[in-house]
Structure 1
């Protein structure tokens, strides 16, 4: 497997391959991260790693999730409790610096990775990571068809509970892997649930978990009079 060093951007959300991530970067440590990315040669990819925060607390140098040790490999006990170790590489698509020093950044998820070690000595976390290949798994194609149908039902019932309409022209991808990530991102679920979908060993396993979840959620929605107004397919700007 391919290994690399990536600056880490912990978030209270999960990024999936192929999905867009808008960020409003205002914390000093992450402004430094973006500034360092902008210092790279024009033809160099500007990438960072997005990892989920386990306990809902900000992590990074001077944050509560950082161990006292300055070791450059391994995880301290506090960091282990604070971060998930499977994340997604984000490649910067556009970035704009505001007058107040903030950055408005848009990135796209590319590949999953596993964190091998973390360097906590700089202004922000930097990790040694290895890419996780996307393996189809057995029966991914058939499972994708089932997920596609069930997701349509889920969308309709969710829209009905919110007194909204779903566009008939909305298209969903045929590729099982791409579909699995889109459904994972678009389904209304808590971070640990989405994290488990990101960590699935193969596409088929992810689709199987989604099929069970969508059937269960669609049944629940059908019995509820209303739901909180969480957008189904729009990702909010993530403050940091």
Structure 2
């Protein structure tokens, strides 16, 4: 059994978005330090093709220099696919895995940031929690459907499988919805599976209500279509 509370080091990629466990995030890497990160991931310099993603607190931050500049709860990203472009840039696809707490940042160890992290596991489901989980799951899935039917074309979204793991369900439901960064961060930081599912239910119901009232499709936030804008990356 692995020690979830042990400390490890991870290369870091600060972004103006939040990666959630079990969800997919594509990235376009053009800065030299992140090209080097991709090369190190692909050649085994960084083991297991994993790095950490943390959200930047303020879009005005141009260079992450301390813990104050980022949310300290982040998520590991597994490099699933990669394509090196002729000019040296990379297009990669990552999958969110484990949540961590960022303890410190080292700006001298590598061209990119490196962080000391402690793993942050979920709390166990309380006795008798399965019944409450079933009710919350149904409510959250209903809010998810209302949101997606208002926001997207029918063939552009797919609800999680009926047997999706409870620990993953809230993250999977939130992934298809354009929640504000602070809300996504709140979902990431919640370690109680039942509270997390209730939170996602409330957030999606709120957003579905906004869409219904405004009769408008939400515009993607900047990080969705321009993840490597100079103001967003370091």
**TM-score, normalised relative to structure 2:** 0.80
Instruction: Pick closer, same or farther for the CA change 1:100–1:216 going to 2, 3 Å.
Output: same
Instruction: Pick closer, same or farther for the CA change 1:13–1:114 going to 2, 3 Å.
Output: same
Unaligned runs of 5+ in 2: none
Encode CA deviations 1:138-177: one digit per residue, 9 max, x unaligned: 43652454343343344335524x5843689844343211
Partner of 1:72: none
Confirm or deny: 8 A CA contact 1:158 1:221 kept in the other structure.
no
Higher helix proportion, which one?
Answer: 2
Partner of 1:216: 206
Runs of 4+ in 1 over 4 A off after TM superposition: 166-171
Shift of 1:127: 0.5
Confirm or deny: 8 A CA contact 1:55 1:81 kept in the other structure.
no
Match of 1:228 among 218, 226, 231: 218
Match of 1:40 among 44, 48, 55: 44
Encode CA deviations 1:47-89: one digit per residue, 9 max, x unaligned: 1000001001455xxx2x32xxxxxxxxxxxx23311111001
How is 1:96-115 mapped onto 2 (pairs within 5 angstroms)? 96-115=83-102
Number of matched residues? 219
Instruction: Pick closer, same or farther for the CA change 1:83–1:141 going to 2, 3 Å.
Output: farther
RMSD, aligned CA: 2.8
Confirm or deny: 8 A CA contact 2:22 2:97 kept in the other structure.
yes
Partner of 2:28: 24
CA distance in structure 2 between the partners assigned to 1:29 and 1:140 by the alignment:
46
With 32-41 and 140-149 compared, the bigger mean Cα shift is at 140-149
Match of 1:55 among 50, 55, 58: 58
Confirm or deny: 8 A CA contact 1:140 1:204 kept in the other structure.
no
Unaligned runs of 5+ in 1: 67-78
Partner of 1:88: 75
